[in-house]
Chains A and B, each alone.
Chain A
Amino acid sequence: AQSVTQLDSHVSVSEGTPVLLRCNYSSSYSPSLFWYVQHPNKGLQLLLKYTSAATLVKGINGFEAEFKKSETSFHLTKPSAHMSDAAEYFCVVSLEFGNEKLTFGTGTRLTIIP
């Protein structure tokens, strides 16, 4: 069975400081991993995806994530937070490349302090 655990339900950072959202995964096979963002009253948007190519994945809006097999982690980072980054972030795992049958984490709410 595949699963993801988001280690923080809520993260608060000041504008201009680094962001770290933590995610551990569990999968019997080589997984595809994703981060999605959900702004209030909007649909889910793909930030980035890992599919067994480079372990450091760059996404949109300055976000990136590093796949660490030895730690079974896929943490999301951004060097400098912006007010527009305030949203709910989901770590997601899939056994099938093609982004189908996704298994979502419980989410991390990111708050940006002015």
Chain B
Amino acid sequence: ETGVTQSPTHLIKTRGQQVTLRCSSQSGHNTVSWYQQALGQGPQFIFQYYREEENGRGNFPPRFSGLQFPNYSSELNVNALELDDSALYLCASSSKQGNTEAFFGQGTRLTVV
């Protein structure tokens, strides 16, 4: 177990709806990164939050947005869901101090119908 927890584990949404995914980072970690893993593919970097500010973004449209809270937990929000948003969403926590490895949660499986 990594200490990184994600909720919910599974989710089914309808095209056009909005969804919020949650991640609790490991104790002592101040950085959270989100990844999208489509079926049969490697994870793709969505964005990263450090001390409540976005700190880098991958090639994802603005309808993918996030938040990081003072306790370093994080949310990923996706608006106007599309069928192609169906994927496993992974959260990784790390610390910019000490160059620790990134620890991944088990992910949220999102299905858009």
Contact = CB atoms under 8 A, between A and B. Distances in A.
Interface stretch (A36-44, A61-69, A72-80): A36-44
A71 interface: no
A10 to B, nearest CB: 11
Contact of B41 (A42, A46, A100, A106): A106
A101 B41 contact: no
A44 B33 CA distance: 13
Contacts, number: 61
Contacts of A106: 41-42
A107 B100 contact: no
A100 B33 contact: yes
A99 B100 contact: yes
B105 interface: yes
A41 B56 contact: no
A42 B48 CA distance: 22
B52 to A, nearest CB: 16
A41 B106 CA distance: 7
B42 A99 contact: no
Give chain A's interface residue range (CB within 8 Å of chain B). 20 to 34
B102 interface: yes
A44 B41 CA distance: 13
> What is the predominant secondary structure among interface residues of chain A facing chain B?
loop
Given A43-B2, A43-B104, A44-B90, A98 B99 contact: yes
Interface string A75-114: 0000000000000001000000111111111110000000
Given A43-B90, A43-B107, A102 B4 contact: no
Interface of B: 2, 4, 31, 33, 35, 40-45, 48, 56, 90, 92, 94-96, 99-102, 104-107
Given A49-B101, A98-B95, A100-B96, 19 more contacts: A43-B2, A43-B4, A44-B43, A44-B90, A90-B42, A97-B99, A98-B31, A99-B92, A99-B99, A99-B100, A99-B102, A100-B48, A100-B94, A100-B102, A101-B45, A102-B33, A103-B45, A104-B35, A107-B42
